A and B are shown apart, each in its own frame.
Chain A
């Protein structure tokens, strides 16, 4: 079965430092991949998506992600983290019939 793995449960980054959140997927063909962010007590907001084409995709709030087929990865990056970026981040992939399978999430903590 298709799956998405986020190996890091928690990550702490200093404000102003760079960020990389890891995501690995299992799927034979080119997957549809997403990153969502969830602030405390809120729903999920789409940061960016990859369907095809350029493997480096830009999203909202200064985030980007790079699709690497050879590594089955879709890591999320940001060059300089702000305190407001503290949230939980979910990587997800479509499995068919427009259904998403989610990773278990990575909680980002931002230290001053």
Chain B
């Protein structure tokens, strides 16, 4: 019963490098989300998707890109890493109505130096 799986768990990037944070869910949920968590700030929504092929910006999308080619996968791309992107990233999925509950992965801790 895997749920939402994120890889890697930890990563250190140099400024200007790029990387993809992977997120996979095995619950056939339509909705998927990427959040970042910074100390004292709670979680902020980066991007979300309401189904395969459909994505939209959240509150803090700058510096990130996403794609959703399948129901299961929702990768988050950082093209030119900056120190401001040092954060913990969480992926979540949600089956939608009527349950309307978001299930979270364990997170990816990213440092940009």
B100 close to A51 (CB less than 8 A): yes
Which of chain A's residues 26-82 have a Cβ closer than 8 Å to chain B? 32, 34, 36, 41-46, 49, 51
Which residues of B line the A interface, CB within 8 A? Answer: 4, 31, 33, 40-45, 48, 50, 56, 58, 90, 92, 94, 96, 100-107
Q: Nearest Cβ in chain B — how far from A9, in angstroms?
A: 7
A44 close to B42 (CB less than 8 A): no
How many Å lie between the Cα of A87 and that of B50 in the bound state? Answer: 31
Per the CB 8 Å criterion, the residue count for chain A at the interface is: 23
The residue from B33, B44, B101, B107 contacting A43, defined by CB atoms under 8 A apart: B107
A100 is an interface residue with CB less than 8 A from chain B: yes
How many Å lie between the Cα of A42 and that of B48 in the bound state? Answer: 21
B31 close to A43 (CB less than 8 A): no
B106 close to A49 (CB less than 8 A): no
A90 close to B42 (CB less than 8 A): yes
How many Å lie between the Cα of A10 and that of B32 in the bound state? Answer: 30
